[in-house]
A and B are shown apart, each in its own frame.
Chain A
Amino acid sequence: MEMIYLDNAATTRVDDAVALAVNEVFLESYGNASSLHDVGQEAKRHLEGSREKIAAYFGCEPKEITFTSGGTESNNLAIRGLAKANPEKKHIVTSVIEHPCVLDTCKDLESEGYEVDYLKVDEQGIVSLDEVREKVRDDTLVVSVMHVNNEIGTLQPVEEIGIICRKKGVYFHTDNVQGFLKEDLALASIDLMSISGHKVQAPKGVGILYIRNGVKIKPILTGGGQENNLRSGTENVPGAVGLAAAIDVDFKIDEVRYSRDKIIEGLMKISGTRINGSLTHRVYNNINVSFYGIEGEALMLMLNEMGIFVSTGSACASTKLKESYVLKALDVDEMYIHGSIRLSLGVDVIGKEDYIVGKVSEAVEKLREMSPFKLPLEELGVGGSELGEGKIKGVAREVEDE
């Protein structure tokens, strides 16, 4: 059976060349980068070489790059580190669709007396610049808005948000875990930025926090004083080398984007289908799609049986369905939140678009046969699909075309 991995937003396979580079460090340059002897200094050269390569990629200074254990730690360091260094500022602005490592960090700070404003998103999952302007105050510590959402792939206007913050003299942080190496981002208006290795075919357990020179921040991990005193702990040299090596990976972005659009087109031929998020402001490899009358977990499992690996935003657990808070924030109809899956594509989809659409259609059909909910086709119109700009109660695209 053919296996197709469509969960690259969860994590990726390490690239062959990256794995070789990392392995060489494991075997040959295993020293502690803080040791003064030759073995340690050899490791340090690898660490600093990686930092320089990443800095060159972003056009920043190497000392603005701090290695961490991944996206979660980078986001924690950004928000908590700023909080520690700027205790007079007790207000935070973020969005309702951030990753849990940002949302729960903000909640944690709320319990310590911080006030947090959560920016709403529109039906495509995009925050409003006007709301950013309204919410920023004199005592705002940081505005934290992600570049690319992990569930729906929506791109936020982070450069513009950064400009607003800069004018108001407020720090701006962006979680760029899902956008790094995939979607361009100029650092000019950004003060802090989080990145993770395992989303870009580098190893798990390594990440970066970009911190613009002059930003007042304190460490949250204390100890040996590594990473310019910002992140104690023996340096993960193989991880750093892997992250730097990932810059050379060819993600075939244009081809995969083309495959994505071809798959979306194919899926839209299934009646009662909804593409969640924005069609225009969307990361090149994300498809978040809902099918009326079926349940995402069953669909995921059935596709799993067919060798197609996707993820779902809703799963029923304990006494209540755990709905995707992201789809809820987009005001997606309940029946469609249930039947949502996420396909996050890698290069192996190229040329397999029809095969994937065929398998998804087959699984949807099987589950629909089992479902007591029949498509309200009168309501949806012929074809009964829509592209997700409006609410599903609206008219189908096919009907609009006429």
Chain B
Amino acid sequence: MDAVVMGNVDYNKNVMEHFRNPRNMGELEDADAEATVGNPSCGDVMKIMIKVKDDVIVDIKFQTMGCAAAIATSSMATELAKSKTLEEAEKISNKDVSLALGELPPIKEHCSNLAADALRKAIEVYRKKTA
């Protein structure tokens, strides 16, 4: 094995589509809350920003530094959360995100677990701010 060659990673079409054309990517001006999870030493860092009106996520954006799995799951998580009530969005699990994308390579499970975590954390931040 050449030390530089990547591991045995095989992304499905859906993941690649979200990697190529991520949804809701960018910065959210006047976000009501945001949260960042992960850190560079574990590979992926994800930031989720939400705008909330009457307990509904009316807008959501993400920024991710990471591999294709991290970018695709960020994209999918924001798609799932958009227009949901906070209560509904909070229930979106890592599993929901990866199911919506189809199968993720097993060694990428860690990366795909960040998106729902970031979303939940952003909601938590929002609740604390408005409590």
Contacts and interface: CB of A to CB of B under 8 A. Distances in A.
A315 B8 CA distance: 11
A334 B65 CA distance: 13
Contact of A150 (B2, B70, B109): B2
Contacts of A294: 65
Contact of A369 (B26, B36, B42): B26
B4 A321 contact: no
Given A297-B67, A371-B65, A372-B63, A320 B42 contact: yes
24 contacts: A295-B43, A298-B19, A301-B19, A301-B67, A302-B19, A305-B20, A312-B6, A313-B3, A315-B6, A315-B67, A316-B43, A318-B110, A319-B42, A320-B41, A321-B42, A321-B43, A322-B7, A326-B3, A338-B40, A342-B4, A369-B25, A370-B63, A371-B64, A371-B65
B6 A316 contact: no
A370 B1 CA distance: 31
A373 B45 contact: yes
A317 B2 CA distance: 16
What 7 A-B pairs are tightest by C-beta distance, nearest first?
A: A316-B43, A321-B43, A372-B63, A372-B47, A371-B65, A311-B4, A297-B67
A295 B6 contact: no
Contact of B2 (A9, A298, A320): A9
Interface string A312-338: 110111111110111000000011001
Interface in B38-65: 40-47, 63-65
A315 B108 CA distance: 10
Contacts of A293: 65
Contacts of A322: 7
B68 A297 contact: yes
A371 B7 contact: no
A302 B42 CA distance: 21
Contacts of A302: 19
Q: Could you say which of B2, B45, B107 has the most chain A C-beta atoms within 10 Å of its C-beta?
A: B2
Contact of B7 (A301, A315, A319, A372): A315
B77 interface: no
A326 B42 CA distance: 18
Given A295-B43, A320-B43, A311 B2 contact: yes
Contacts of B67: 295, 297-298, 301, 315-316
Given A316-B110, A319-B110, A369-B26, A10 B68 contact: no
A316 B42 contact: yes
Q: Could you say which of B5, B11, B42, B45 has the most chain A C-beta atoms within 10 Å of its C-beta?
A: B5
Given A297-B68, A371-B65, A372-B65, 12 more contacts: A297-B6, A297-B9, A298-B67, A301-B68, A302-B19, A316-B67, A319-B110, A320-B42, A320-B43, A322-B7, A334-B40, A372-B63
B37 to A, nearest CB: 10
Nearest to A199: B2
Interface of B: 1-7, 9, 11, 19-20, 22, 25-26, 36, 40-47, 63-68, 70-71, 107-111
B111 to A, nearest CB: 6
A151 interface: yes
A358 interface: no
Contacts of A315: 6-7, 9, 67
Contacts of A10: 2, 4-5
Contacts of A59: none
Given A338-B40, A372-B45, A311 B65 contact: no
Contacts of A335: 40
Contacts of B109: 318
Contact of B65 (A11, A99, A373): A373
B81 to A, nearest CB: 18
A100 interface: yes
Given A315-B67, A316-B66, A370-B64, A99 B3 contact: yes
B3 A150 contact: yes
Contacts of B11: 301
Contacts of B19: 298, 301-302
Interface in A350-390: 369-373
A398 B19 CA distance: 34
A202 B40 CA distance: 40
A338 B43 contact: yes
Q: Could you say which of B4, B5, B22, B68 has the most chain A C-beta atoms within 10 Å of its C-beta?
A: B4
A244 interface: no
B68 A298 contact: yes
A283 to B, nearest CB: 14
B107 to A, nearest CB: 4
A349 B57 CA distance: 49
A11 B47 CA distance: 38
A371 B4 contact: no
A209 interface: no
Contacts of A317: 7, 107-108
